[in-house]
Chains A and B, each alone.
Chain A
């Protein structure tokens, strides 16, 4: 079945540091890939998406590229701010049109 794996553990970094959150997936066919963000006490918001191989999704300074050869969709941001502190979820939809989520990564940005 479809599944998403995110790197273990929270990510703590200083303001203006470079952020990378790894995401790899297992899926049949050609899934669409997503990054969602959850701020404290809220629901999830779509951050970016990519629907085919080599597509790059981008929003609010975040980027992720759909890499079919490595089955990855790593999230990056060049210079994080305190306001980027949140939980980030990688997700995919495959042939069954259901979203499969990774376990999420808590990101804490220290001033």
Chain B
């Protein structure tokens, strides 16, 4: 079955610790995305990558970092510089740059910083 996997589903961390969220896809998609979802805020784009070894900042990149060393993987690190990291994080992919292409979403990781 092709799709996007995110792990873990729930993640708890202490304030001041960095944490890395996993995102893997076996759809052979070139483009991958990270979004943050907060209640009543919709989805906001953190980072995106249109091709391996390249990525761009989205609207709320401060306090986050990413890498794209392999086509199928796009991990997101939430650093201690992120002021309010508790949120639901969604990873997505598409065949190419969005345009009319559908984005496929993973099940999400809910991060809680204690």
Contacts and interface: CB of A to CB of B under 8 A. Distances in A.
A42 B98 contact: no
B99 A32 contact: yes
B75 to A, nearest CB: 17
A44 B93 CA distance: 12
Contacts of B4: 43
Interface string B53-65: 0000010000000
Contact of A98 (B6, B48, B100, B105): B48
A60 to B, nearest CB: 15
Contacts of A82: none
Q: Classify chain A's interface size.
A: 20 to 34
B99 A97 contact: yes
Interface in B39-57: 40-45, 48
A81 interface: no
Interface stretch (A11-19, A45-53, A67-75): A45-53
Contacts, number: 54
Interface in A29-74: 32, 34, 36, 41-46, 49, 51
B102 interface: yes
A51 B100 CA distance: 6
A99 B43 CA distance: 9
B99 A93 contact: yes
B94 to A, nearest CB: 9
A89 B105 contact: no
B105 A32 contact: no
A103 B44 CA distance: 10
A44 B97 contact: no
Contact of B45 (A44, A51, A99): A99
B42 A43 contact: no
Interface of A: 32, 34, 36, 41-46, 49, 51, 89, 93, 97-99, 101-104
Interface of B: 4, 6, 33, 40-45, 48, 58, 90, 92, 97-100, 102-108
